[in-house]
Amino acid sequence: MLEIAIVILAGLAAGGINAVVGSGTLVTFPVLIALGYPPVVATMSNAIGLVAGGVSGAWGYRREIAAQRRTVMALLPASAAGALTGSFLLLALPDDTFEVVVPVLLVAALGLVVVQPRLQKWVARRRPGAAPVVSPGLVVAVYLAGVYGGYFAAAQGVLLMGVLGVLLAQDLQMSNGLKNLLVGAVNLIAAITYTVVAFDRIAWTVAGAVAAGALAGGWLGAKYGRLLSPVWLRVVIVALGLTALLRMVMAG
């Protein structure tokens, strides 16, 4: 019972963090590893559990999501395709492959977040008053973020916020709502893939405990995350991203 309570609390924190920025997996994944679950089992069980938090987080940002339906329709297939690719890579590649790639991706994402205001001003000067445009480069970047999310999931929200902040000229809270939907879709597709292909390798009790906590955490994060100013939201993104990078480097 104590173990389940710990996992539920970790899921609560992860759901809230994912709704605000991302990196919630960096709470649940280390907890599951500490409790003795193998890395791949922990990754798959965690991804399945966090689907519930993705649903509540996206629901909390439903107004922002509804206001950008065309963007959603253009990017959702890219996230889904990336999730399929990444989840199959998880099942096919060695468990420690991500340790080389993930730190590089995180550094790049944090760099994008830091320089985002200047880049957005540059984009605005080139297209004054223009509506957000979904470029081929953005679609490819969202697909690659989906591959990463389907493979490991940790800090995919940070990566996606960095990509959206630079390649999609719009308010940061709008991008945060879009991020919640896309990350939720990635987790859902990955969860379905894991269930179909590797049902017997999933710790279902753990997945249920993560889901219970993440469902409440996602709602709370969406409710209070919208109250953050763009500056403070960016500070949270960078702080969580640096935390993610530090944990992965130390683990390596």
Count Cα neighbours of 122 within 13 Å in the Cβ-side half-sphere.
8
Helices (H), 93-135: 98-126
pLDDT in tens, 198-235: 898 899 999 999 999 988 888 887 777 667 666 776 77
Q: Of 106, 248, 243, nearest to 163 (Cα)?
A: 106
Distance CA 1, CA 171 (A): 43
pTM: 0.78
Residue 127 has pLDDT above 60, yes or no: no
pLDDT in tens, 179-192: 889 988 998 999 99
| Residue 247, pLDDT score | 66
Centre a 10 Å sphere on the Cβ of residue 177 and count the other Cβ atoms it contains: 27
Residue 130 has pLDDT above 60, yes or no: no
Cα end-to-end distance, the chain, whole Å? 31
- Percent of all residues in the chain with a pLDDT value above 90, rounded to a whole number: 23
Domain hosting 60: range is: 1-251
Q: Of 184, 190, 145, nearest to 168 (Cα)?
A: 145
For the chain, the domain total comes to 1
Query: Long-range CB contacts (< 8 A, 24+ apart) of 169-172?
Result: 169/120, 169/123, 169/124, 169/127, 169/130, 169/132, 169/133, 170/68, 170/132, 171/230, 172/230, 172/233, 172/234
